């Protein structure tokens, strides 16, 4: 497998920073790319459509840039870091037009007010202890639908086979990231609660932990599959 070597080489031997949060340090220049903003109405209705899919467009852009050899090593490294960050398309509130992807939502936990994402999850959630069966895991990288059956390989090959310039190639619609955004958005319709209740003493947070764990696992697995297909041509995953 060449993907691991590619990532290690792209980051350089002395890279000693968090890969996933780098994009937040340049959010002032890339804010529109961090979220998908569906104009839906959870919990009554949840849906995702392409016109508001800024994060999905960004995934296409930085996927193309990552393997564009005419770009500098630093530009390609930044593409890798953006791709890693945009894996948080698995974060349900980042697929909702609400309070900057949920970052500005204040909630009550153990009688203290805090930001739902920045403090509730950071202060209360640590390492996942969940395990998942292979059948479930395999379904995570499926992105077929009755309207547009597709695989990661289909998305990557369509994107990279384009004879257009990079700036045009980067806006080719990708089926898989859109399907994964829809998957995350569904959570907003059945497992989201904000004001009026202490989320940590009511049992809400405890009940949400399995959802948090499966969404984190999905994000990591999908990112690994995406990079493997991009560099090696196959997912190389169970």
Answer whether residue 37 is part of any domain. no
Q: What is the pLDDT of residue 22?
A: 80
Answer whether residue 35 is part of any domain. no
Answer whether residue 106 is part of any domain. yes
Answer whether residue 26 is part of any domain. no
Answer whether residue 225 is part of any domain. yes
Compute the distance between CA of residue 165 and CA of residue 74 in angstroms, rounded to an integer: 20
DSSP SS3 for 112: strand
Compute the distance between CA of residue 84 and CA of residue 66 in angstroms, rounded to an integer: 11
Residue 95, domain extent? 3-10+55-232
Per-residue pLDDT of the chain (238 residues; tens, 9 = 90+): 789 999 988 887 777 777 777 877 777 666 666 666 666 666 677 777 665 557 777 888 889 899 888 899 999 999 999 888 877 788 877 777 666 556 667 777 777 776 666 555 666 666 666 678 877 888 899 887 656 668 899 889 888 876 555 555 555 668 888 888 888 888 877 766 656 688 788 888 888 888 888 888 899 899 999 999 999 999 988 7
Q: What is the pLDDT of residue 73?
A: 92
Answer whether residue 105 is part of any domain. yes
Write the CATH number for 141. 1.10.575.10
Answer whether residue 136 is part of any domain. yes
Encoding tokens for residue 220? 């990591």
The secondary structure of residue 34, as a DSSP letter, is S
Q: Count how many domains the chain has.
A: 1
Identify the CA nearest to 215 among candidates 102, 93, 116, 97. 93
Answer whether residue 198 is part of any domain. yes
Identify the CA nearest to 130 among candidates 213, 69, 65. 213
Q: What is the pLDDT of residue 172?
A: 62
Instruction: Write out the H or E segment, with its range, that includes residue 109.
Output: strand 106-109
Q: What is the pLDDT of residue 160?
A: 83
Secondary structure (H, E, C), 188-236:
HHHCCCCCCCECCCCCHHHHHHHHHHHHHHHHHHHHHHHHHHHHHCCCC
């Amino acid at each position: 497998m060449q993907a691991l070597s590619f990532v290690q080489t792209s980051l350089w031997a002395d890279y000693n920073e968090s890969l996933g949060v780098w994009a937040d340090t340049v959010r002032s220049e890339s804010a529109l790319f961090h979220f998908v903003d569906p104009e839906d109405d959870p919990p009554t209705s949840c849906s995702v459509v392409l016109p508001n899919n800024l994060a999905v467009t960004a995934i296409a852009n930085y996927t193309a840039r990552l393997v564009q050899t005419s770009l500098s090593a630093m530009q390609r490294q930044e593409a890798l870091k953006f791709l890693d960050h945009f894996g948080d398309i698995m974060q349900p509130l980042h697929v909702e037009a609400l309070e900057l992807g949920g970052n500005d939502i204040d909630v009550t936990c153990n009688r203290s007010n805090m930001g739902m994402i920045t403090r509730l999850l950071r202060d209360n959630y640590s390492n996942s202890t969940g395990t998942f069966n292979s059948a479930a895991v395999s379904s995570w990288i499926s992105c077929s639908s009755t309207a547009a059956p597709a695989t990661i390989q289909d998305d990557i090959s369509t994107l990279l086979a384009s004879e257009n310039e990079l700036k045009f190639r980067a806006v080719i619609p990708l089926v898989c990231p859109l399907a994964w955004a829809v998957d995350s958005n569904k959570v907003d319709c059945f497992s989201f609660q904000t004001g009026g209740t202490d989320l940590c003493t009511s049992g809400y947070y405890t009940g949400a932990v399995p959802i948090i764990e499966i969404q984190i696992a999905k994000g990591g697995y999908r990112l690994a599959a995406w990079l493997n297909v991009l560099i090696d041509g196959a997912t190389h995953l169970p």
